[in-house]
Amino acid sequence: MATSSHDALHTPPDLYGAISKAISNETPPSNRINSQVRLEIETDGKKAPADKKKREQVHSKLRSDSTQTAMRGLFSLVDSVFPDAIAKINNQQIEQALQAGALRQNGDWILWPAGEVNISEQSAAQFVNRIGEVVKENFFAHLTDVKPRFCTAMFHQKRVEDDEWKTSYKPDEVMLEGPVDEEQPHLVRWRHFQVILESKRGGMLAEGIDYCTRFALSVFDAQPGRRFVPAVIFVGANGNVKPYVTFLIFDRSGIVMSENISLHGNPRKILRLFVGLLFADEEHIGFEPTLKKEVDGLYITTGGVKYKVRCIYHEYGIKGRGTVCYRGTSQKDQSKVVIKDSWVDVCRKETEVEILNKLNEKGEKELCTEDGARVIPQIVSHEVLKSRRPGAAPGEWISVDATTAEFRRELVVWDSVEPKWAWTSFDETTRKRCEIRRLCRIVMKPFGKKLHAFTSKRVLVRAFGDIVYGTLLTRTCPLAVEILRRNGFVHRDISFRNILLYKHEGIPRGLLIDYDYAVSVDRSISEAIAERTGTLPFMAYDRMNKIPDFPHSYFHDLESIFYVICWTCTRYSGPRSQKRDFDSETLRYSDTAIAKWNGDGRINPTLDDLASAKLSTITGRVRDKIPNQFSSYFDDIKGFARSYGALILKNAIFSLDEMALEECEEKRNDLVNRIAGAASSDEKKSLKGKYNTLPIHLRPPSVVIDSLRAVVEEALSNIVEEVDSPDNDDNDDDDNDNDESANAADFRAMRARDCLSSIVPGVQVDYLHRGSGSMKASKSRGCRVDTSNTSFAHLESMTRGSSGPSGKRKSIEESEDSRSSKRSKSLATPGTSTSGAIIKLEGPEQRLSRVQMMKPKPAPKMTPTSPRIVDSKPTFKTPYPRRSQTSITELPEEDHLDYNDTT
């Protein structure tokens, strides 16, 4: 069988066998707000049947994910996908083919007469191939380079077994690039499938859609970079309903479906559809046209430079960003870069490119360590990828932005000439909004390796230091999280996969990547349709609550780094990706904290379940025991993990009752006054150290960062010297996640959204605004923070002389008739403290029945150990407007849950 460029993308998956509880990409906010998160899953190769069951559960959820925004009955779909220039046939030629007698006689299809209620899989494949033969013979006989695809039913009774991709389905018919030996089905895999076809009896269209969705999912998984996957369902007669064909397009916004095209009543559209599927160029059936296969490999030319590329990561699923990352080697100077393709919501206010450009405008010095090591990626080039479409004049071709609006034009809402979103139906009573996505490409450097490729403990701790603040640096050279904070951004998805190592002057350094979900702290409402972000094991506890206490802030990112530290030291047993063999140890993986954070061992855990599990491991003395689960290799950095965790989580707001929280506020105010009146710098320094006994949200950011910097430096000084393991920069295996060993547990990174089904839309969303007040904690769970007098800006001026972020709380209103969400009134008028919120829990479900805002008053008497909320999974009612359950309006960036996971 001939090969094409997409065959060469047969790279090991980032994780199919590990998806037991994970879901990828975004679901539309219907009756919940899910969180797009990845899970690191432990799987056991000895339990293959169980793994298959888990995979099927995931497929079922992903199918539901895509079909929720399915657009049905688009009469224009066939013509928009296959106009004359793309189908390579016009209406006159279609008429000639129908009248020639080779396909139809006496007004009937020869291979599917009107008297046949259903058609077998083999007959359906013959029907399609016969169309190809006739059209080729009559119109393309003189064109040797125009050949029809080949339709085969070789798998309708034999599963497409693929040990590498862990898929095992039986598609009725598929289109391949050319004829194959049907006696050797083992030579054909998902990476060879170009079009999916399914045959169903009358009345079984829904089942056909379900099967095609799972097949399309497997095709996307096996063919990184695929833009869309076309599918066809043959449906037999059922009572008065005659046989018909339904055409489907699976893309990164979901599913688009044509009307039910009558097989015998509309032969012209049937012929156009199949001629297009058989003869259209590969780019017009969904393949990436910029990816070129040459004799020695794959190449991409972008930004005026030609790169030899290899796929190192791709996102799993259909709907969502569909991120694909390539390692690129410049053919000009042999430098290494990362080429990242992703489908971005067109309504997103701040894209990754814009955020990185803003950061890079600060200059190289501000983004590097004193010795020149970069901690934030540099953009080499970027572009919006294009699609080739027929122009107005015959033979004319034009380039247009590659978006998912192309096949939804009838239902797209436009802002001038730019698409905003699309409705899922023409019925105003039931339709929802579906995001429109644009395919963007970014070329970045430096090229890094995954964190688990560290060559020594010193390398690992130094990398964490680079991300937090930097190691052994002066105060004028902040790094990563601190750079983001000072420039008004938060990352929002720091995880094990988003911290890389790269060589700077021969020494591995830390690099924080993936700014897909980074936002500015003074962001305004966005019209992007998406959901919350996060990677479950690494999500800050506060961000896992239905109504978080704070907007996503820098200290949430710092908390995520603590989880990355624990994850790495528990999961690995040494440098160079040495995975830990839990089978040979007394400690079971299921008993570790990271297993609880990841939801391993739970069946369909909710976000509340995982939040409760995380809370049980990060409070007080329990948190200090987590390093006891580290591999023995990391014994001399256990103290580092304890100190880091204590700085971030000690006296965290979730561990305090109202009385204790008020005491902390009073102590904070006292410290501010004492520092202001301190006579010497030594006295001020001593007083600043006392901030670390307060919850992190009450501390000035500069104090937090300086304290963490000291922890990192102390850890580096205490590490026992060891010889770095050899590091081969040319070893491409390090770029993949192929670090399993025969005896090691297999962990994989995945996203899990359905485990978050307990989150409902309409939750209050916090925003942080500069110069508009002070940081306020949500009162939804009873926390009281007096912010009426002292702001972060004041704290920063006392400690460092620079103003920090400040903000006020907002909630979201929805208006069905409005084009964008409106800001609601803040929970308290300017200058009024919201610290007097009273929460009344009543009934067996402890439903929140009342939130009363009032002026500050003494907190109710509570014992120091009494929790603010007893039930870990309360159902909240608030007096604030909820988003509708039947339609999707523009959501703020805070609610975004687009996928991000790049290498």
Return the CA Rg of the chain. 29
Helix (H, G, I), strand (E, B) or coil at 472: coil
For the ranges 75-89, 459-473, 572-586, the lowest mean pLDDT is seen at 459-473
Mean pLDDT of the chain: 76
| CB-based contacts of 731, cutoff 8 Å, min separation 6 | none
| Residue carrying the six token digits 């990706």 | 577
Distance CA 33, CA 52 (A): 28
Q: What's the token pair of residue 52?
A: 């298959």
Write out pLDDT tens, residues 165-221. 566 789 999 999 999 988 888 889 999 999 999 999 999 999 999 999 989 989 998
**Is residue 681 within 8 Å of 636, Cβ to Cβ?**
no
Reading phi first (left if > 0) and then psi (alpha if -120 to 50, else beta), residue 843 is in left
Write out pLDDT tens, residues 123-159. 999 999 999 999 999 999 888 889 999 999 999 988 8
For residue 388, the model assigns a pLDDT of 95
Give φ, ψ of 422 to 5 degrees.
-135, 145
What does the DSSP assignment read for 687-732? HHHGGGGS-GGGS-HHHHHHHHHHHHHHHHHHSPP-PPPP--TT-G
Q: What is the percent of the chain where pLDDT is above 70?
A: 70
**pLDDT tier at 431 (50, 70, 90 boundaries)?**
confident
Q: What's the token pair of residue 269?
A: 């559209």
Q: What's the token pair of residue 568?
A: 């790495």
Mean pLDDT (whole number) for 396-421: 92
Write out pLDDT tens, residues 873-887. 333 333 323 333 222
Give φ, ψ of 578 to 5 degrees.
-75, 110
**pLDDT tier at 53 (50, 70, 90 boundaries)?**
low
Greatest alpha-carbon pair distance for the chain in Å reads 104
Q: What's the token pair of residue 867?
A: 């929790």
Angle at 139 between CA 134 and CA 143, to 5 degrees: 110
Q: pTM for the full model?
A: 0.76
Q: What's the token pair of residue 390?
A: 């027929």
Written in H, E and C, the secondary structure of 204-226 is CHHHHHHHHHHHHHHHHHHCCCC
Write out pLDDT tens, residues 12-30. 333 333 333 333 333 333 3
CA distances from 424 to 209, 216, 231 (A): 16, 20, 19
Q: Is the pLDDT of residue 803 over 80?
A: no
**C-alpha atoms less than 13 angstroms from C-alpha of 702 in its C-beta half-sphere:** 20
CA distances from 485 to 480, 543, 625, 704, 803 (A): 9, 18, 31, 12, 11
For the ranges 239-248, 363-372, 628-637, the lowest mean pLDDT is seen at 363-372
The ranges assigned to domains in the chain are 52-288, 290-447
For the ranges 267-276, 696-705, 808-817, the lowest mean pLDDT is seen at 808-817
